[in-house]
Structure 1
Amino acid sequence: MPATPSQQGVDDVSERTQQNRSAGQDQSPATKSGRRLAAQLAEKKAADRRRKRNAAISSLAAVAVAAVLIGVFVAIGGGDDKPKTQADATPSASAPAAPDEAGAPPAPQLPAGADPALGSKPTVEAGKGELKKLTVTPLIKGTGPAVQKGQTITTNYLGVFYKDGKEFDSSWSSGQPASFPIGVGQVIPGWDQGLVGVTVGSRVLLDIPSELAYGKDAAAKGAPEGPLRFVVDVLAAQ
């Protein structure tokens, strides 16, 4: 049976009251507090994610910097460990010297303990004044035994004219030292007299007057005339 108007009004009032109660419950303090707590938790989680991301980026940057520094140190230190080449090594005193002139043969092997200067061709200038007697001037003092009369000596030599210094003979041109008996008349008198007693490993300057060189018959023999000057390296004596 349909409700009467008065009853309908009562029902409408009752329904509105129920709706108002429901709306009031949604706005209760407990519901607001829960929402604030949820928002705070979400913000905390987002902050944690940002911190982790920043920490990861910082770690990667530190690793990259360390790698660059290590590379620089290795590059700098590598130069100190570089092995020396044969060209950096100091040559032995007994090793043959390189030629002084383009195309010239190297000097022969030197005696043990000899001055390395013996491996280079000497420079000889002209003499001064009139040469009247044999003069022996030590240029390098060798440490080997003294040459004795009758021994065969091995030498490098360079001969020039005493007056003008012009070269006329040299064992350096062929790159082969000369060997001959000494003190027994096999060479010019200036050599026989001037080289006996010289120690092996020595370099001496011999100023030889004409009479102790090739003498008056030098031109007829095709030998150099006049006083002569020699620089002689004594390499061995047997």
Structure 2
Amino acid sequence: MPATPSQQGVDAVSERTQNRTKSERRLAAQLAAQKAAEAKRRRQAWAGGLAGLAVVAVLVTVFVIVAQRNDDDAAPQAGAPSASAAVDDPAAAPTAPPAPQLPEGADPALATKPTVKAGTGDLKKLTVTPLIKGTGPAVKAGQTISTNYVGVFYKDGKEFDASWNSGQPVSFPIGVGQVIKGWDQGLVGVTVGSRVQLDIPADLAYGDSGEGGRPAGPLRFVVDVLAAQ
């Protein structure tokens, strides 16, 4: 049976209502999608901002550490000279004289300056006292010998000369009148590598007057014979 006019009107209203409901749902879905997208963009922007802050914080930390290390490295240079500067400056680091070149098989004690004390009593004659016996050949008159020595006044032990102070051994002909008689007589026959003590009366040394600034009176020498040729 065909619908009546009233029934047709009801159906039309119902259809419009359904269409409006569908439109409202679509609109609501669109709005929800827009809000979700906006929220996502805000989250991404926030995350990007945090990441940027983290990068900046890392860079600042690295800068501070590097600056602090540079300050620490510079501080010793400002406060005290470096070790390399002290070595480069001869006045800042005085060096000891080099050890003498010893003959083969020599006693290592010859590398050290001896301590020489005063004598006792009146010295009337040349006295040669071996302190270290060398194993080299005996010194002959006319040879040139290389020596280290310490010279002191016999009576008080005060040092007046020593080759050790310059760090260089002294070489001279022996037994031919080029040195004092006490050396010419006392060192001939001493073996290379020996250390001997020479107690020399004034008449075999420089005399009693001390002319020309020379040491006067009896003298004591400790002599190391390092070479002879």
Fold equivalence (TM over 0.5): yes
Residues 1:150 and 2:142 aligned together:
yes
Distance in 2, Cα, partners of 1:191 & 1:165: 19
Distance in 2, Cα, partners of 1:143 & 1:229: 24
Residues 1:208 and 2:203 aligned together:
no
Corresponding residue for residue 59 of structure 2: none
Identity over aligned residues, as a percent?
Answer: 81
Corresponding residue for residue 223 of structure 1: 214
Distance in 2, Cα, partners of 1:157 & 1:219: 20
Of 105, 114, 118, 1:113 maps to 105
Secondary structure in 2 aligned to 1:204? strand
Shift of 1:132: 0.3
Corresponding residue for residue 44 of structure 2: none
Equivalent residue letter for 1:201: G
Corresponding residue for residue 172 of structure 1: 164
Shift of 1:103: 4.1
Distance in 2, Cα, partners of 1:224 & 1:163: 12
Corresponding residue for residue 181 of structure 2: 189
Secondary structure in 2 aligned to 1:190? helix
Runs of 4+ in structure 1 over 6 Å off:
none
Distance in 1, Cα, partners of 2:96 & 2:222: 18
TM-score, normalized by length of structure 2? 0.58
Secondary structure in 2 aligned to 1:124? coil
Shift of 1:212: 0.2
Corresponding residue for residue 29 of structure 1: none
Confirm or deny: 8 A CA contact 1:149 1:183 kept in the other structure. yes
Shift of 1:215: 1.5
Unmatched runs of 5 consecutive residues or more in structure 1: 1-101
Equivalent residue letter for 1:172: W
Secondary structure in 2 aligned to 1:104? coil
TM-score, normalized by length of structure 1? 0.56
Q: CA-to-partner distance for each residue in 1:132-157, whole Å, 9 max, x for gaps?
A: 00000000000000000000000000
Shift of 1:108: 1.4
Unmatched runs of 5 consecutive residues or more in structure 2: 1-93
Shift of 1:219: 2.1
Secondary structure in 1 aligned to 2:146? strand
Confirm or deny: 8 A CA contact 1:204 1:231 kept in the other structure. yes
Distance in 2, Cα, partners of 1:177 & 1:116: 16
Q: CA-to-partner distance for each residue in 1:46-83, whole Å, 9 max, x for gaps?
A: xxxxxxxxxxxxxxxxxxxxxxxxxxxxxxxxxxxxxx
Distance in 1, Cα, partners of 2:120 & 2:96: 30
Secondary structure in 2 aligned to 1:117? helix
Confirm or deny: 8 A CA contact 1:107 1:172 kept in the other structure. no
Residues 1:199 and 2:191 aligned together:
yes
Q: CA-to-partner distance for each residue in 1:27-59, whole Å, 9 max, x for gaps?
A: xxxxxxxxxxxxxxxxxxxxxxxxxxxxxxxxx
Distance in 2, Cα, partners of 1:112 & 1:160: 29
Q: CA-to-partner distance for each residue in 1:3-34, whole Å, 9 max, x for gaps?
A: xxxxxxxxxxxxxxxxxxxxxxxxxxxxxxxx
Equivalent residue letter for 1:122: P
Equivalent residue letter for 1:195: L
Shift of 1:191: 0.1
Secondary structure in 1 aligned to 2:210? helix
